[in-house]
Amino acid sequence: MARPSRNCDRMLLEAGVDILREKGITGISVRQVCERAGVNLGMFSYHFHSKENFLRQLLTQAYEDFFQQIVGAAKDVENPLERLLSVLDSAIDYIDSNRALAHALFKDGVRGTPLVAEMVSNNFPRHLKVIFQLVRDSQKSGILRDDIPATQILITLGSALVLPMFWSRELFECLDPKGQFLDIQARDDLNSSNVARARLGIILDGLRPKDASGGPLPFIKKKVSSEFSKLASRFGLFADEDSSTHGK
């Protein structure tokens, strides 16, 4: 006869998320998770069988919460640029609301923690493809410039919006340890969601359609597009992109 759950699996996962925020995935121990959840080790083994399986479910749940939030933000929005803005704004909001969790996972990812690397490899292409397609839809609608590969725009958005929310303060602490360039408050401001939204406005303002004669010289555009293509092809993002955007 099956053993009653008593929601132990949910309680263990919730405790795991709390510890993940505090210590990252490398700092999680089964005993600590059980103590925080008020669940005995036997029930942990019954539901998850192993620590690795538990951590994998923990990471999958964390990502799924993020993915469902950003996809839901674009629901019932018809204008492609507004859909793109809704998804990006939702991503910024999620990171800001779950800053400790996002920062812990980012640090584990930088360290090359295997389970985090596995989660990134298995899941990140999902939201990247959603954003990529919204960029392409905006380009096809004439709302955004179509002389820049969508993959280049995608990488620019990620590096300008998301990454500074994780490491801008730490970066300036290394480059300017005495605070001669930016004081502590200014460094914290760089991480804020409002500043991320301001960067989004700057990027999209620069992507408004312009005369074809503007922008970088053709040989520079071709070389840069080629480098972005190599990187983006790892995620299979070129499947729906018109080849005409690479040679303009």
- 149-205 pLDDT, tens per residue? 999 999 999 888 877 777 655 566 666 666 666 565 555 566 678 788 888 888 888
Specify the pTM.
0.74
Q: Which domains does the chain have, with CATH numbers?
A: 1-49 (1.10.10.60), 59-245 (1.10.357)
CA pair distance 169, 154, nearest whole angstrom: 23
Tens digit of pLDDT for each residue in 34-93?
A: 999 999 999 999 999 999 999 999 999 999 999 999 999 988 888 999 999 999 999 988
Closest CA to 157 of 199, 205, 114: 199
Torsion of CA 43, 49, 51, 56, to 10 degrees: -110
What is the rounded radius of gyration, in angstroms, for the C-alpha atoms of the chain? Answer: 21
